[in-house]
Structure 1
Amino acid sequence: MLPVARRRPINPLHVRVRAWRGRVGLGLVGSLSVLAGMTDAIGFLATGDFVSFMSGNTTRLAVAISQGDLSLIVRLALAVLAFIAGNTLGILLGRWGGRRALPLMLGIAGLLCGAALLPFESQVPALLAAIVAMGMLNAAVEQVNGLPVGLTYVTGALSRFGRGLGRWLLGERRSGWRVQLVPWSGMLLGAVLGAVLEAHFGVKALLFSAGFAALLGVVSLKIPRRWQRDYMPR
């Protein structure tokens, strides 16, 4: 007769640590989503182009191609490529910085400062700098306690929330789907704030985004390094 495997007792301390790691992670996700929404709204109102919403830029690129608008095709293609480059650079900075948020957030702050202070006649250099920054932002948090999260796009979050709601209505009591509203709410709040700031300061409102990014980087120093490593992409 085979021996019955014994279940390891649950350590209350581990449970509390995991709960706090989740709360801190979601707080960070919400704050970073506010930054993304703020920056996207400022960029969109100042230039007419999305800074973090590449689905929208891809649709606009397709329309531009169908209409043969060469200048818009080049502009939007550069925007998509800049976003990809930003994600790539974010991973590199995250690894080179020991998977800490501070070097990444300071890099983002620097790019947003550059976007705010660059000559804005052509708009394109400032727009691309802000897009690279938003691509980098996605490397700050990828998951919290095993739950995937998005920062600069919320379609996936709403989809995961909707699917979770469907399972809940069917009687399945899986956890985690409600937290998908955190990035959506953060982006909504940030976009409202960004729209107000852009109305008063124009593209210079990106300086507020830069300051907020730097502040979040400094605040991240209070987060245990092991937790930061868990949040960031592997």
Structure 2
Amino acid sequence: MLRYNRPRRQFAVVLAGLAGFVDAVGFISASGYFVSFMSGNTTRLGVALGTDPAQALLPALLIIGFLVGVTAGALIALRAGPLRKPAVLACVAALLLAGAGARAVGSEWLMLMALVLAMGAINNTFQRGGEVTVGLTYMTGALVRLGQGFALWLAGKAERGWAAWGALWAGLLCGAVLGALLQSRLPMGCLWIAGIAAALMALLAIRLPAES
């Protein structure tokens, strides 16, 4: 995060907001399971396997779907080269719109699968050397780095821009709040909004200059 300039940091915060939005919609729709937070699903999978194995199917499928999404997004990123960001985000937009369509025809399972694939893929947006540099759907690492940056600031050794990790976390939180609000007030429209937002971000990504 700290290696990127201000426009890319702002771009990452907005995408984290999109991830929070989608995860909130998925969380409410899936009765407490996640479409982007796989640590939570892994814990729920473990609890189910230890207490009621019949409840293990949904978290297992969500984890597998997320992994497939990450893999597909990584392949798209490899093939797209310098157009990695718009290509990955176009894929995310298509999946979110597919999820909205699945909800419209009453298929919650297909909707959840589309959402979890999209959230896996979106993590390939920020890469260097084939490795993810900014995780957009998981914030534990961001909070750890924020705490470390705060410690260095207290010691007078802080790296410039360290508070950007806090902005990334706040982006996810704000997106989750908005997603929860729209899920309760506009359940049939909120995923269309998310899909259109992802498509707009894909177009904006074209205007970002290639990283050095």
Q: TM-score, normalised by structure 2?
A: 0.89
Could you list the runs of 5+ residues in structure 1 that have no partner in the other structure?
1-18
- Measured against aligned partners, the alpha-carbon deviations of 1:42-72 in whole angstroms (never above 9, x if no partner) come to 11112222110111111111111111232x2
> Which stretch shows the higher mean deviation, 89-98 or 154-163?
89-98
Identity %: 36
Contact 1:149–1:180 under 8 Å retained in 2: no
8 Å contact from structure 1 (residues 75, 124) kept in 2? no
| In 2, Cα distance between equivalents of 1:33 and 1:84 | 18
> What residue number does 1:115 align with?
99
In structure 2, the CA distance between the partners of 1:63 and 1:133, relative to structure 1 (3 Å rule), is same
Bigger shift: residues 36-45 or 173-182: 173-182
CA distance in 2, matches of 1:180, 1:112: 26
Structure having the higher Rg: 1
CA gap of 1:214–1:68, structure 2 versus 1, over 3 A, is: same
Moved over 4 A (4+): 119-122
Match of 1:129 in 2: 114
Change (3 A) 1:169 1:148: farther
Which stretches in structure 2 are left out of the alignment for 5+ residues?
Answer: none
Alignment root-mean-square deviation, CA = 2.2
Give the total of aligned pairs.
205
Q: 2-side partners of 1:173 and 1:162: how far apart?
A: 11
Q: Is the 8 A contact 2:20 2:175 kept in 1?
A: yes
Q: Deviations over 1:163-196 (max 9, x none)?
A: 1212222332333421111210110111111111
Are 1:88 and 2:42 matched, yes or no? no
Gap change, CA 1:104 and 1:149, over 3 Å in 2: closer
Stretch of structure 1 that moved more, 196-205 or 105-114: 196-205
Partner amino acid, structure 2, of 1:195: A
TM-score normalised by L of structure 1: 0.81
Is the Cα contact below 8 Å between 2:25 and 2:183 reproduced in 1?
Answer: yes
| CA deviation after TM superposition for structure 1 residue 210, in Å | 0.5
Superposition pairs of residues 1-234 of structure 1, within 5 angstroms: 22-48=5-31, 49-70=33-54, 72-100=55-83, 101-118=85-102, 123-142=108-127, 148-202=133-187, 204-224=189-209, 226-227=210-211
Does the 8 Å contact 2:123/2:134 carry over to 1? no
